[in-house]
């Protein structure tokens, strides 16, 4: 008998990936990807066309169907993961999008933050979510109210990419805890939705999707069966937040994995008995997908956008040439000249002029400083900033191995820098392109969910010593400027 086939869907900020896996061997037998266009402008706009998102989804699944041929009818399960925190207005009955989707890094709702903070007593927000103030989703809902009030009817629902796709596959509205946290309506202590934050902006709990409980599975909707040319009985799991999926892709390789995602935002994911924020991070305390504890998803205040700036501005405007140049540059020498440091918080408010964005900078520039040295300083600074947050975790014994995945992990130089940062722990690299699409198949077969990994070699003593000197200098500068 032919083994069943499982399909994973991973909806990122700028890319949608679909992949098919043999349910017995775990082998990836077909994959497809579509870039998701993001509309931007200088006013903080970061949005996607909601209808185009569905088009990309079904286009990717159609490509899998063509690649699989007769095995397409062997599909037994589909899993869905998506980036969290984005939001749009939809019709709860039909799933039709009423607005574009404002991405998690869209800034248009920020102007309402102070107004919402004042509506709750001191300490309320931290007790709710570990955050110092309301989550950005509440401000985005307020922005929709002020800019398209006609879209609000009794049938209006606020949802993100994961809920939107899951509904169009199953006819059921569900959201993950990470998305609810970023909307601003999740209580980390009770591990359930909280109505009061929504009431502060004049809404109730039925304005958002119900919370996913555990590893929920629902049947494929009849309309989706017909659209995808699938037989009845196919099950759909999810929706998962992308960082839940990232963690699940490494769980099982070790008992206490520390999964590091080096994408648009640099994020660390690990299990903890306590919901506790690490200094300097933006925390998401999620119900663990694998036990009675928390999955702590802690975002550093840096990400690959800074590295993309360095590639284009310091090495070569042509991205392909810049990447090749970076590999050669770091093969020659990994770390910048002594005394040179980069503060890579390029997307954070300027600490000396808080009304502007841009907390990045260089320290130690001199007449002999080259663009190559500055590029080395940017790469090292990103890893140093990440280390400021997570090195104490590595030393605590709470994690037993490090797993690198996402954009920047593709650079050997970043892998070597992380090997130096977490010296004493085994460091691995996830070697496949769509580990999230694999991980969402955990409810069907945990073994299939395991991403393929390879060990990153340790760095020589001299590089490790230079790394420690550079990290020490970076911490001194950052504490002077930020703390």
Q: Which long-range contacts (CB under 8 A, 24 or more apart) does 18-21 make?
A: 18/57, 18/60, 18/61, 18/63, 18/64, 18/437, 19/64, 19/434, 19/437, 19/438, 20/64, 20/67, 20/68, 20/71, 20/75, 21/438, 21/441, 21/448
Q: Once rounded to an integer, what is the mean pLDDT over residues 267-277?
A: 95
C-alpha span between 202 and 181 (Å, rounded): 18
pLDDT of residue 314: 97
pLDDT tens string 293-337: 999 999 998 999 899 999 999 999 999 999 999 999 999 999 999
Domain locations in the chain? Answer: 5-240, 255-425+452-483
* Average of per-residue pLDDT across 335-360: 88
Percentage of the chain beyond pLDDT 70 is 99
| Nearest Cα residue to 428 out of 293, 249, 182, 266 | 249
pLDDT digits (tens, 9 = 90+) for 102-158: 998 888 998 999 999 999 998 999 999 999 999 999 999 999 999 999 999 999 999
pLDDT tens digit string along 379-423? 999 999 999 999 999 999 999 999 999 889 999 999 999 999 999
CA of 212: how far to CAs of 149, 179, 205, in Å? 29, 11, 14
CATH architecture assigned to 5-240: 2-Layer Sandwich (3.30)
Which CA distances in Å does 429 have to 120, 189, 249, 259, 404?
Answer: 44, 33, 12, 10, 5
Q: Is 358 left (phi over 0), alpha (psi -120 to 50) or beta?
A: left
Do the domains 255-425+452-483 and 5-240 match in fold? Answer: yes
Distance in angstroms (rounded) separating the CA atoms of residues 162 and 80:
7
Which of the residue ranges 92-106, 216-230, 340-354 would you say has the lowest mean pLDDT? 340-354
In the CATH hierarchy, which fold is given to the domain comprising 255-425+452-483? Nucleotidyltransferase; domain 5 (3.30.420)
Residue pLDDT, tens place only, 356-384? 888 899 999 999 999 999 999 999 999 99
* pLDDT for 350: 84
> Looking at the predicted structure, is the pLDDT value of residue 1 above 50?
no
pTM across the whole model: 0.93
pLDDT number for residue 352: 83
- In this prediction, residues 242-250 reach a mean pLDDT of 94
Burial 291-329 (b: 16+ CB within 10 A, else e): eeebbbbbbbbbbbebbbebbeebbbeeeeebeebbeeb
Burial of 403-435, coded b for 16+ CB within 10 Å and e otherwise, reads bbbbbbbebebbbbbbbbbbeebebbbbeebbb
Contact 325, 453 (CB under 8 A): no
Instruction: Give the pLDDT mean for 264-270.
Output: 93
């Amino acid at each position: 008998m032919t083994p069943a086939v499982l399909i994973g869907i991973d909806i990122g900020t700028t890319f949608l990936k679909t992949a098919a896996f043999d349910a017995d061997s775990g082998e990836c037998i077909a994959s497809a990807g579509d870039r998701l266009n993001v509309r931007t402008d200088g006013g903080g706009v970061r949005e996607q066309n909601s209808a185009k998102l569905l088009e990309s989804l079904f286009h990717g699944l159609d490509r899998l169907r063509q690649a699989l041929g007769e095995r397409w009818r062997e599909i037994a399960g589909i899993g869905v993961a998506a980036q969290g925190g984005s939001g749009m207005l939809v019709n709860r009955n039909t799933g039709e999008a009423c607005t574009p989707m404002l991405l998690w890094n869209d800034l248009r709702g920020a102007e309402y933050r102070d107004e919402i903070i004042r509506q709750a007593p001191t300490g309320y927000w931290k007790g709710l979510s570990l955050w110092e103030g309301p989550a950005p989703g509440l401000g985005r809902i307020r922005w929709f109210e002020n800019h398209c009030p006609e879209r609000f009817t009794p049938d209006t629902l606020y949802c993100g990419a994961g809920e939107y796709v899951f509904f169009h596959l199953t006819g059921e509205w569900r959201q993950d805890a990470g998305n609810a946290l970023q909307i601003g309506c999740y209580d980390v202590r009770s591990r359930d939705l909280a109505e009061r934050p929504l009431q502060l902006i004049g809404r109730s709990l039925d304005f958002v999707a119900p919370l996913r409980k555990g590893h929920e599975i629902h049947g494929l909707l009849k309309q989706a069966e017909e659209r995808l040319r699938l037989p009845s009985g196919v099950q759909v799991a999810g929706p998962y937040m992308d960082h839940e999926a990232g963690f699940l892709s490494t769980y099982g390789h070790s008992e206490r994995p520390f999964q590091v995602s080096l994408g648009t935002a640099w994020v660390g994911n690990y299990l903890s008995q306590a919901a506790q924020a690490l200094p300097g991070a933006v925390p998401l305390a999620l119900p663990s997908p694998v036990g009675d504890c928390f999955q702590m998803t802690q975002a550093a205040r840096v990400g690959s956008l800074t590295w993309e700036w360095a590639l284009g501005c310091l090495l070569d405007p042509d991205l392909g040439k810049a990447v090749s140049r970076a590999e050669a540059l770091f093969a020659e020498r990994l770390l910048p000249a002594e005394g040179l440091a980069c503060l890579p918080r390029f997307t954070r408010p300027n600490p000396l002029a808080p009304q502007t964005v841009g907390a990045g900078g260089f320290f130690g520039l001199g007449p002999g400083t080259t663009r190559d040295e500055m590029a080395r300083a940017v790469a090292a600074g990103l890893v140093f900033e990440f280390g400021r947050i997570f090195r104490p975790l590595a030393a605590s014994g709470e994690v037993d191995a490090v797993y690198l995945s996402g954009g920047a992990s593709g650079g050997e130089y970043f892998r070597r820098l992380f090997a130096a940062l977490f010296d004493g722990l085994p460091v691995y690299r996830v070697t496949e392109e769509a580990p999230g699409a694999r991980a969402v198949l955990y409810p069907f077969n945990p073994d299939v969910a395991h991403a393929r990994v390879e060990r990153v070699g340790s760095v020589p003593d001299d590089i490790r010593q230079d790394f420690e000197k550079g990290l020490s200098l970076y911490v001194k500068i950052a504490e002077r400027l930020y703390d």
